[in-house]
Amino acid sequence: TLKTWKILTKLRCCPRRATPIVQAILVLHHVETNRYPG
């Protein structure tokens, strides 16, 4: 799933700062996939 997120290709920061960004994107991804089941 992470490979399909194009925003991560432009992410240029330290891993400590990238972790909360990736976690927030993952939460939004789960919210979006659960919104339209099937």
The contacts of residue 7 (CB under 8 Å, 6+ apart) are 25
3-state secondary structure of 38: coil
CB 2 within 8 A of CB 8: yes
The tens digit of pLDDT for each residue in 1-38 reads: 666 777 777 778 888 888 898 898 889 888 888 887 65
C-alpha distances in Å from residue 11, one per residue of 1, 7, 19, 27, 36: 16, 7, 11, 18, 28
Look up the domain containing 18 and give its range.
1-35
pLDDT of residue 12: 83
H or E stretch covering 24: helix 15-35
The number of folded domains in the chain is 1
